[in-house]
Chains A and B, each alone.
Chain A
């Protein structure tokens, strides 16, 4: 199986590589441009993909991926399903702080709330952080880019005294269990 492995290649000097996976291939381009512009001190490489597994032809030239971000548009069920199927092609080593979920249109009224709940349960079960982003304005894109860069730098090992695993225990998504909710009522 062509799993994407986190530690099978050597890291680059002062380099961080991020992989943006999005079924619609629209937000990832804007995000990539902003991420590259925002970061001045570290050399950031962005790889854009539609889904996993990644094509074998790029296997040689591809650098070590430090952070995999799944962009899910809540307005489309297909987006969520595509992200779910792509998860199978990630080596389990990634789930220790090297995977992040980015969700758009969480505030949209026409989106069924069950979808966000299912994304949250998925992220919580995998112990990954869940970010909400606003993709229609430049400020929204810039904010999302900055947050991703913060997580990326830790995941790439460029921040002293912090590792991806350590950060993920602080930032991982939680879903309030039903027992807690009953106590409130």
Chain B
């Protein structure tokens, strides 16, 4: 094993937290059972890394095996680094019928045609998502495994999630993806964040959605929950109404975790005390930013606790 491979493995070992190490190595399946047992996971990590390096040397493992381990780790813990959502547009006729082997072949062929020195790894996860790991190199250098790009795509959906992509290689990846999925183009969905599951849920509408119903109030129960007769709420009806409105707008399940929402406004300025800005003909441009640890949850709480007394209507793009 040469130096760069050793460095990649050492970096990876530093990245994986100690609690997950045993399960990750187990899933990796490139070490034999005896080897795995011989590793002592109670030792400090650097000792373990040395031991693991020795084992990998023995078994003759190479870069491609180590990148497999990295991929397993990232698939298990996707909520790190910055993910960006993209949407594919202008589907061609056979776009919905693309299946895995065809996609894999096309993508690899396209990308290697565009740039010769790339290392591509494609893996299908249990939840129908395809994970692609790309390490970029150019005509004179080998692929850089320390800064890989990860792409997640669900077949038959027009959505792609990417992390770790520099602007230099962005058009190449775009072109390869667009050709492989048989779409016309790819545009930025303007949705990005650390939490891949939240972005995916939002974009693919996998959160609990609320549909308009004819009878919004639930039916009266025959056996109501026994409440203490000595305790009575004065504003009971008001509270119920607020909860109802909150549920109608947001649903009552867990909401995807959104941290920041930025709106670009183009509107007219209206303030009687400021004549210079009010009289202008051109539209007033501004940016409104909402930030919170969990934006949708806090909005829902605002409505249900009565902090906001107006009924909100939100639509997801």
Q: Please name 28 pairs of A and B residues whose Cβ atoms are closer than 8 Å in the assembled complex, sorted by A.
A: A19-B234, A24-B305, A25-B305, A32-B228, A33-B231, A36-B228, A36-B231, A43-B230, A45-B230, A45-B232, A46-B232, A47-B231, A47-B233, A48-B231, A48-B233, A48-B234, A49-B234, A50-B234, A50-B235, A50-B238, A50-B239, A50-B306, A54-B234, A55-B235, A57-B237, A58-B234, A62-B234, A78-B307
A55 with B231, Cβ < 8 A, contacts A24-B305, A50-B306, A78-B307 known: no
Known A25-B305, A55-B238: A47·B232 in contact at CB below 8 Å: yes
CA separation between A36 and B231, bound complex, in Å?
A: 8
Q: Classify chain A: how many residues form its interface, as a range.
A: 20 to 34
B302 to chain A, nearest CB (A): 12
Q: A25-B239, A55-B238 are in contact. Are A48 and B232 (CB under 8 A)?
A: yes
A44 at interface, CB cutoff 8 A: yes
Inside 8 A of B306's CB, which chain A residues have their CB? 50
Q: Tally of A-B residue pairs with Cβ under 8 A?
A: 44
Q: Is the CB of A49 within 8 A of B235?
A: yes
Pick from B230, B237, B307: contact of A36, CB below 8 A: B230
Give the secondary structure class of A's interface. mixed
B203 to chain A, nearest CB (A): 35
B268-309 CB mask vs A (1 if < 8 Å, else 0) is 000000000000000000000000000000000000011100
**For chain A residues 35-76, which have a beta carbon within 8 Å of chain B?**
36, 43-50, 54-55, 57-58, 62
The interface bits of chain B over 223-263 (1 if a CB of A lies within 8 angstroms of the residue's CB, else 0) are 00000101111110111000000000000000000000000
* Nearest B residue (CB) for A36: B230
What residue in chain A is nearest B239 (Cβ atoms)?
Answer: A25
In the complex, the chain B residue whose C-beta lies closest to that of A32 is: B231
For residue B273, give the distance in angstroms from its CB to the closest CB of chain A: 26
Q: Cα distance A19–B306 when bound, in Å?
A: 20
Choice from B228, B232, B234 contacting A33 with Cβ under 8 Å: B228
User: Which among B228, B230, B235, B237 has the highest number of chain A CB atoms within 10 Å?
Assistant: B230
